[in-house]
Amino acid sequence: MSAIGLRMALRQPPSSTTNKGPDPNAHVHSLLGITTLAIGLCYITTSYMDPAQNAMLYASIPVRILLASLLLVMVGLHGKSYTAEGRRALLTAAIYDGLSGIWLGWYLGEYLGRCPGLV
């Protein structure tokens, strides 16, 4: 996740298809990359902790499943307005987040985001 965020933040944003100049919304691509990098770094910095005491690990389970659901709804509602690459990116993120949230919840035995070691 950190590598994807860094790539998005440093990569030249896609050009606009409506005009010949730079895309006026190109900054959104960079901000999304920085946000993704920040979330990935949070996971990395807390990964050394014992999973039973890692509250962020537990809290990420329902968030991942919710984000995956939201991405699938976005593709369902607005999929035709996205480019093929955009749809593929959203679906990849939805599959990655959804499956990782489901697997992590199964592995830890908790889907509600509560860390049993801190309660």
pLDDT, tens digit, 9 for 90 and up, residues 41-68: 877 887 777 877 788 888 889 988 998 8
Rounded to an integer, what distance in angstroms lies between the CA atom of residue 47 and that of residue 42?
9
Q: How many domains does the chain have?
A: 2
88 and 69 co-located in one domain? yes
* Highest-confidence segment of 12-21, 28-37, 42-51, 75-84: 75-84
110 and 60 co-located in one domain? yes
Q: What letter does residue 19 receive in the DSSP assignment?
A: S
Give percent above pLDDT 70 in the chain.
84
Over residues 14-26, mean pLDDT: 61
34 and 60 co-located in one domain? no
39 and 84 co-located in one domain? no
Rounded to an integer, what distance in angstroms lies between the CA atom of residue 113 and that of residue 25?
35
Q: The pTM is what? A: 0.67
37 and 55 co-located in one domain? no
Rounded to an integer, what distance in angstroms lies between the CA atom of residue 108 and that of residue 87?
31
Rounded to an integer, what distance in angstroms lies between the CA atom of residue 22 and that of residue 14?
9
Please name which of 101, 103, 42, 107 lies closest in space to residue 68, comparing C-alpha atoms: 101
Over residues 15-30, mean pLDDT: 64
40 and 69 co-located in one domain? no
58 and 30 co-located in one domain? no
Q: Which residue range forms the structural domain that includes residue 5? A: 1-48
Answer whether residue 16 shows pLDDT above 60. no
Answer whether residue 119 shows pLDDT above 60. no
44 and 55 co-located in one domain? no
pLDDT, residue 117, reads: 66
63 and 28 co-located in one domain? no
pLDDT, residue 102, reads: 95
Q: 42-55 burial, b for 16+ CB within 10 Å, e for fewer? A: eeeeeeeeeeeebe
